[in-house]
Amino acid sequence: MAYDRDNRPDLSAYWMPFTANRQFKAAPRLLVSASGMHYRADDGREVLDGTSGLWCVNAGHGRPEIAAAVQNQLMTLDYAPSFQMGHPIAFDFATALAKIAPEGLDRIFFTNSGSESVDTALKIAIAYHRARGQGQRSKIVGREKGYHGVGFGGISAGGLVNNRRVYPLLPADHMRHTHDPARNAFSRGLPAHGAELADDLEQLVALHGAETLAAVVVEPVAGSAGVLPPPVGYLERLRKICDTHGILLIFDEVITGFGRLGQPFAGHYFGVTPDLMTTAKGITNGVLPMGAVFVRREVHDAVVNGSDAAMEFFHGYTYSGHPVSCAAGLATLEIYRREGLFTRAGDLAETWADALHGLRDLPLVTDIRNLGLMAGIDLAPKAGAPGGRGYAAMVAAFEAGVLIRATGDTLAMSPPLIVSEAQIDQLVSTVRTVISALD
């Protein structure tokens, strides 16, 4: 069915996620088709995708290679169980992912989302320590402002209060976040100050005892909190402290994975290899739900070989390694490889940074952060209405033909990796016009 302003669906039944439902349904913004770098709204307007959908459409929209792979797989093997059974394409996809992973992360556990990937990684970390006779290691360490999905493990390790305050939480503690605008405002790339904040982990070791801590989970670049690149040397320091105390390090690469920083993964970009790595989003170019946890072989082997039970790890999902999602993933990896998209963000990084930091002269802009093809722009909050300017900017940008995200009064942008320099100029120029018009 073709949708337009004269043929809108009934909006009442769908309870929308992470959305102000009453506000949205009073003035809906509907996207009805997409191709390349653009969506089309239900009023016929073309909308430049400045967010890769939701950080996931890295190769652009409507890729015929992925559609053909999905159709072929649907007609060959539409579904097969992964519990005590297997199908070839899941093994093929796992092998392909292992080949592009940071060295040593060559065991793959399939999930269906970033949230499931995080909860899976946390279970693997606890199972690893138990298999090694250290079952008391069950506490997780996260970080303030961290986002790790909406499972109970993810919200417990996460550091965004609105995701946590209503629900009971698992045992976890938190390091401070690294956002320090007083010292690092308007950093191009990695901020210079704050590596010492990794030492918060040493304080938590002293508080809880290393023998109780299973894993530390961080986003290499915090995305949902407003694009917060780590200070120079921070991740390296965190890796060293984890090694000293036998704590597993988990990188949540649901956003940074698959080329966002100009390397296949942030672990490559920073030269820091975690013990586990969670992924989703760009793994299928956003076409079908899928996620994967990359696991260091020694961690996998400890769990699989360290149990006397026939089934070593009691965990999984009905759709783990779904054959159609695997087909989409393999086709996506081939596009990334053939078109050089794993490294294209690096090629465009300076152009991207120059355009963004050209907004520094705007009176309402209080900070700009960028890394790879990610950016966060902080706006001065409106008195008595925190978040109001960010939301108004997001709506105005959409009306002007550009899709951006707003988290409070922070605007976030992460265009598909196929973006052109002209489209970067269009995106940032539109944002300039929008911010300039805010009251």
158/287 same-domain check: yes
Q: Which amino acid is at 269?
A: Y
With H, G, I as helix, E, B as strand and everything else as coil, classify residue 294. strand
Q: Is 5 inside a domain boundary?
A: no
* CATH code: domain of residue 428: 3.90.1150.10
In this structure, are 292 and 311 located in the same domain? yes
Residue at 227 is within a domain: yes
**Domain co-membership, 113 together with 53:** no
Look at residues 302, 317, 338 and tell me which one is the last residue of a structural domain: 338
Give the sheet arrangement for strand 374-379, strand by strand: 365-371, 374-379, 410-413, 405-407
Together in a domain, 199 and 220: yes
Residues 345 and 318 in one domain: no
Q: Which domain holds residue 77?
A: 67-338
Domains of the chain: total: 2
- Residues 243 and 348 both lie in one domain: no
Residue 137 placed within a domain? yes
Total-model pTM? 0.97
Domain-terminating residue out of 338, 368, 399: 338
Nearest to 371 by CA among 268, 281, 262, 257: 262
The continuous run of DSSP H or E covering 323 comes out as helix 323-338
Cα torsion for 113, 115, 116, 120, to the nearest 10°?
Answer: 140
Residues 283 and 192 in one domain: yes
* Helix/strand/coil for 278: strand
> Which residues have CB under 8 Å from 320's CB, separation 6+?
82, 109, 110, 111, 112
Task: Give me the CATH number covering residue 195.
Answer: 3.40.640.10
Is residue 387 domain-shared with residue 314, that is, in the same domain?
Answer: no
Q: Apex CA 350: angle with CA 347 and CA 352, to 5°?
A: 95
162-171: burial string, b at 16+ Cβ within 10 Å, e else: ebeeeeeebe
Residues facing residue 216 across a β-bridge: 141, 249
Tell me the C-alpha distance between 340 and 210, whole Å: 42
Specify if 3 maps to a domain. no
What is the full per-residue pLDDT of the chain (439 aa) written as tens digits?
666 677 889 999 999 999 999 999 999 999 999 999 999 999 999 999 999 999 999 999 999 999 999 999 999 999 999 999 999 999 999 999 999 999 999 999 999 999 999 999 999 999 999 999 999 999 999 999 999 999 999 999 999 999 999 999 999 999 999 999 999 999 999 999 999 999 999 999 999 999 999 999 999 999 999 999 999 999 999 999 999 999 999 999 999 999 999 999 999 999 999 999 999 999 999 999 999 999 999 999 999 998 777 889 999 999 999 999 999 999 999 999 999 999 999 999 999 999 999 999 999 999 999 999 999 999 999 999 999 999 999 999 999 999 999 999 999 999 999 999 999 999 999 999 999 999 9
The partner residues of 295 in beta bridges, in order of sequence, read 107, 276
253 and 126 fall within a common domain: yes
SS3 at position 1: coil
List the strands of the sheet with 276-279, edge to edge: 107-111, 291-295, 276-279, 248-252, 213-218, 139-143, 172-175
- Residue 197 lies inside a defined structural domain of this protein: yes
Domain annotation covers residue 15: no
Which of 320, 338, 356 is at the close of a domain?
338
Interatomic CA distance for residues 182 and 161, integer angstroms:
23
Residue 292 lies in a domain: yes
Could you write out the DSSP letters of every residue in 348-403? HHHHHHHHHHGGGGSTTEEEEEEETTEEEEEEPPBTTBTTHHHHHHHHHHHHTTEE
Based on the fold, state whether residues 122 and 81 are members of the same structural domain: yes
Judge whether 84 lies within some domain. Answer: yes
The verdict on 47 and 173 lying in the same domain is no
Task: Give the 3-state secondary structure percentages of the chain, helix then strand then coil, rounded to 5.
Answer: 40, 15, 40
Clarify whether residues 316 and 172 are in a common domain. yes
